[in-house]
Amino acid sequence: MDRLSRVVTLYEDLREIPHFKRIGDALKRAAAEGFRTCGHVIREQAEKIPDRVFLRFETETVTFGAYNAGVNRFADVLASAGVERGEAVAIMMQNSPAFLMAEGAMAKRGTIGALINTNLRGAALVHVVRASTARVALVDAACWPVLRELPLEGVVVYADASPQELAGTPFRSLPAALAEAVDAEPNIPDVKVSDVALYIYTSGTTGYPKPTIIRHSRITMGGQSLKIVLDLQPDDCAYAPTPLYHGYSNFVGFAPALHNGSAFASRRRFSASHFLDDVQRHGVTHFMYVGELCRYLLRQPPSARDRAHRIRVATGPGLRPDIWREFAERFNIPRIIETYGQTEANISLMNRRGRVGSIGRSAPFTHAQLKLVRYDFERGMPWRGPNGWLQECGPGEVGELISIVSKQTTMSFDGYVNKKDNEQKIVRDCFERGDVYLRTGDLMRRDRASYYYFVDRIGDTFRWKGENVATQEVAELLNRAPGVSETAVYGVKVPATEGRAGMALVVLAPGAQFDANAYHAFVTRVLPPYARPLFVRIAAVMDVTGTLKHTKMRLQEEGYDVSRVSDPLYFRDDQRRTYVRVDAALQQRIDGGELNL
C-alpha cells in the first residue's frame, strides 16, 4: 500500500472508530457474562419475553415461548433417535418455523445441523447427505418425496407426513414423533462457542456441494455484533426471504434477532410479487437481499405502496452498481449495507458508510489481513514476480483477493469438513517463507480508502482475442441496453478459435421486444471489440441458484447449438451492423470457420 493510500485508509478508519467501539464494548460485556451458545439464548429469551412474537412466516406467528417449546420437542425427538453430542443431523426443509426449531434443537443437544439445499436431486442429494455423516434426517412435506427412492441405507428419515402416507417406506412420521415428544427443558450439555454448530454447503458450481464448518462462535459473535451494527430495537423485524440453508439469512437475520429479542420474518420461497405484502404485514425494518433479488423487485410494476413501509436498512451481498441508486430511491431505503463473505472463508467485508458500488472494507486497522494480488490468467493462479513472491495490486488495479490464515487474525479459518478440500483454496509462501493465504477466487479492485469493488468470479472470466473479459462488468453495461431487464454473460467455445467467444443471455423488460439493430449499436458504443458479445440468447427467465446468483454451466455447455437451445439465438454481424438469427445453416458456417469472427 502506497503512502497516500495508507493516509486515506487511516482517515477512514478513524471515522469508523466510534461505531466499532460500540461493538467492542458490547462484545466485552457479553464476554464478561460468558458467551452463550444459541441453545442457552433460546431458553433465556423464552423465560424473559415468552409472549413476544419472534417468528413471522407468511400468515403464521410464533412467540419466543412457543419457539422454545418447539425446539425442545425436536430435541426430544433427537434424544429418542439416539443422536449423541457431536453427531450430525441432516435438515432438509424449506424456510419455516419448523426449520428453525430443528436448528435450535441442534444447539441444545450439542449436535450439528447439516443444512441441505432443498433444490438438490438424485446423485447430488445422496452425496451431500452422505458427506454430512448424518444417521438421522429431518425432512419437510415438500422434500421427503425426492428422498423416497434414493439409496440412503443407514439414514433414519423423519418426514413431515402421516404414518398412512409413509406406509411401505422406511421413513418415520415427523408429526407423530413430535406429538409424542415432550417440551420440557432438556439438560443442555456443556456446548462451547468453539464447538461445531452447523454444516453449510457451498453452491456446488464446480462438482458436488461441499460441507463447510460453522462454529457456535460465528453465530454468537454475529448475533451480538450485528444487533449493534443494525441498531436493532425490541420492536424491529428482520426479513430474509431467501433460503435458510445458506448462511446469510441465518447469520445476519435470525441470529441478531434472537440475541436482540426482536422478530425475524421469512417465507417458504422468495416472491417479488409478495414482497410489499410481507414487509407491510410484518412491520419489517431490516431487509436482507442476496444476488439479483433487488433487480427482481425493480422489475415489478411501480406502485404507490413501494415506499409505504418501515424499512430503514437493507443489507446483503450482490446489489449491483447499475441499480443501486434506483433501488434505494424507488423503495425509499435510507441505508444500504452491502457485504461480502464466503461461507468457507475467513473474510468479512462491510460497506457501513454506503459507498455506492462497493462491497465493503475490513474493520479498522485489520486491512493487512487481506491482500489484493495480481492474477496469472495463463496459469490460473496468483502471479509471482521474478523473486517468486506474489505481487500486490495498486489502487484501481484488478487482482484476486486473498486472506491470511493465522491464529493471530480476527477471523479464524475452518474451511471444509474434508480438510483435503481446503488445499485447492490455499496458497503458500506468498510474501515470505512459510506464510499461508486463502484464495477467494474473486477478482476485485480496491480504492485508496481500502474499499473493495467486485469485478468477476475467476471461473467466469474468459479470454477472447487475447484479452480478459470480466463477465460481471460487461453484464452491468449490457443491462442498460434498450429493452433489457437482466443479463448474464459467459464464454462459449467456437471450433478452431482461441479462447471463448462472448455470449449474453438476455431477459427483456416486460412488454419489450428485442431490437437487433439497436442492441448492436449499443454494444458497439459501450464495449471494446473483444468484449462485445458474439452471440445473444433471449430467455424468458434467468437461471439462478437458491440465492439468486446466475448459473452458467448449462448455458456454456449448450452454447449456440440450435439443436439444444429452444430460445431465440442471435449472431453479431458487424458488416450489417446488427444481430441476425442463428439457424442450422448459420451455425454450420460458424463452426466451419467460414466467417471472420
CA dist 192 and 196 (Å) reads: 9
Average the pLDDT over 388-393 and give the result: 96
Percent of the chain with pLDDT over 70: 97
Enumerate long-range contacts of 80-85, CB under 8 Å, 24 or more apart.
Answer: 80/177, 80/181, 81/136, 81/156, 81/158, 83/109, 83/111, 83/135, 83/136, 84/111, 85/109, 85/110, 85/111, 85/189, 85/191
CATH 2.30.38.10 in the chain, residue ranges = 366-406+417-457
Mean pLDDT computed over every residue of the chain: 92
552: left (phi over 0), alpha (psi -120 to 50) or beta: alpha
Strands 335-341 and 348-350, by their bridges, are antiparallel
Strands (E), 21-139: 53-57, 60-63, 88-92, 112-115, 136-139
> Please, how many CA atoms are within 13 Å of residue 250, restricted to the half-sphere of its CB?
26
- The pLDDT assigned to 203 comes to 66
* pLDDT at residue 344 in the model: 78
What band does 342 get if pLDDT is binned at 50, 70 and 90? confident
Distance CA 490, CA 500 (A): 9
Partners of 263 in beta bridges? 237
pTM for this predicted structure:
0.87
pLDDT band per the 50, 70, 90 thresholds, residue 407 = confident
Topology of domain 366-406+417-457 in CATH is: Luciferase; domain 3 (2.30.38)
User: Do 488 and 320 form a contact (C-beta atoms < 8 A)?
Assistant: no
Question: In the chain, where does the domain assigned CATH 3.30.300.30 lie?
Answer: 462-591
For residue range 428-444, list pLDDT tens digits in order: 999 999 999 999 999 99
**What are the Cα distances from residue 400, in Å, to 93, 205, 346, 357, 381?**
35, 19, 15, 18, 9
Percent of the chain with pLDDT over 90: 73
- Rg of the chain over all Cα atoms, to the nearest angstrom: 25
pLDDT attached to residue 144: 92
What's the pLDDT tens digit per position in 545-557? 776 677 788 899 9
Distances (CA, A) of 589 to 278, 495, 575: 52, 11, 16
Q: What is the pLDDT of residues 55-79, one digit of tens each?
A: 999 999 999 999 999 999 999 999 9
Tens digits of residue pLDDT in 3-38? 899 999 999 999 988 888 888 877 777 666 677 899
Q: Is it the case that residue 125 has pLDDT exceeding 70?
A: yes
Residue 371 CA from chain centroid, whole number:
22
Other C-beta atoms lying within 10 Å of the C-beta of residue 326 = 12
Position 516 confidence tier, pLDDT thresholds 50, 70, 90: very high
- The residues near 158 (Cβ < 8 Å, ≥ 6 apart) are 77, 81, 136, 137, 138, 139, 171, 172, 173, 174, 177
Which class does domain 462-591 fall in?
Answer: alpha beta
What pLDDT is stored for residue 411 in this prediction? Answer: 62
Residue intervals in the chain for CATH 3.40.50.980: 35-224+232-260
* pLDDT confidence of residue 438: 93
Thinking of the domain 35-224+232-260, which architecture would CATH place it in? 3-Layer(aba) Sandwich (3.40)
DSSP state of 306: G
